[in-house]
Structure 1
Amino acid sequence: MGKQYGKISMAVIRRLPKYHRYLRDLLDKDVNRISSKELSILTGFTASQIRQDLNCFGEFGQQGYGYNVEELFHEIRKIIGLTKTYNTIIVGYGNMGRAISKYTNFTKSGFTLRGIFDNDPAMIGKEAENITIQSVDELEAYLKNNKVDIAIISTPRDYAQEIATKLSNGGVSGIWNFAPVDLKVSSDISVENVHLSDSLYTLSYLLSQKDDKTEK
């Protein structure tokens, strides 16, 4: 089990992956140290916000020196939990499921794809990413015999809750949900919803505000 922290706001937690991404880019460019001001320019967060965020997890950086990029990168990897490996399955192997399975950073970050499930007879039995696609009917038996940390749901919305219930009963720890519906699961299961339409509609709002300003 990783180090336990006090109550951290979701706003801070959601900023950590961005820090991780930019620090990785800095390492690729052989940058050894960076100040909170310089990191602010890259991330778009204020220098004060960056310092406050990092202080939630311990003491990082030195006055007049800034942050050691490599040390901070590895500490954030630990905080996020990327020093572990996660047994992962995908339920629903349509366009979204296939795109997720082929995402190169998926395996590099420790998310090991162990199983793929679908209800299309034409798909069942075929190989994808060196894994034999199984029927959703076999999901409950699979969960009984295999440890699954994270399940990715990329099914149509009408099937998502039924799948989530099976995953919950089968001991899955976390669900990454791409189905356009909010799931009801037991409180000990962490769920991250990715509603693509919500993001698109947010963009639509921002564009409409620009249009309104232009028309005035």
Structure 2
Amino acid sequence: MTLKLEQMYEMQKALDAKIIKEKGLEGQNLLPNTILALQVEIAELANEWRGFKHWSNDREPRTAIPSLVKTSGIDIALEDGTYLQNPLLEEYVDCLHFFLSIARQLEYSADDLCVFEDYVEGETGLLFTELLINVGYLLGDKLQIRESEKDFKAWQKQHFRGAIYIFYALGEQRLGFDFEDIAAAYAAKNEVNHERQANGY
């Protein structure tokens, strides 16, 4: 059974609550760190996509890397005892974890994570750049950008929805992931993240 986006949102809330409690982070503004973490993960996703590396002969996305050991929850076990890793999908779901965490911190509902999907125009590399810009705007400088808190929150939500729209389009239209792939990989990585916390990560 495929997870729904609402279920992933609730799973992320539980993971975030566990981390906040175990790390003693109650009452702290974690949004700047989470936004930076998402930007780092987007850059790592672009690195695994590799399409922007015009200087390299190796520009194929990293979607099937053989490994002797299992390194993540989404690795596929092969008959010979080795594993097949998909770093591109793993980085994508790492991004999804942080998108869900940001939505929680901004007190958005699961419905705010749903956007109308249409084909996105433009080169894939430019979409990555636009995604990074929209995520960066989530912090903004509300004193200079908007006159009131209400205006700032509307402006912030507009950029969040723009970012998540591009993110979904990248995954499905450019990187070849369907929702079932994403949901299964999210669940597996979420489990790994809980295990990491239990083991003092």
Q: TM-score, normalised by structure 2?
A: 0.31
Structure whose CA Rg is larger: 1
More helix by share: 2
Higher-RCO chain (CA-CA 8 Å, sequence separation at least 6): 2
Q: TM-score, normalised by structure 1?
A: 0.29
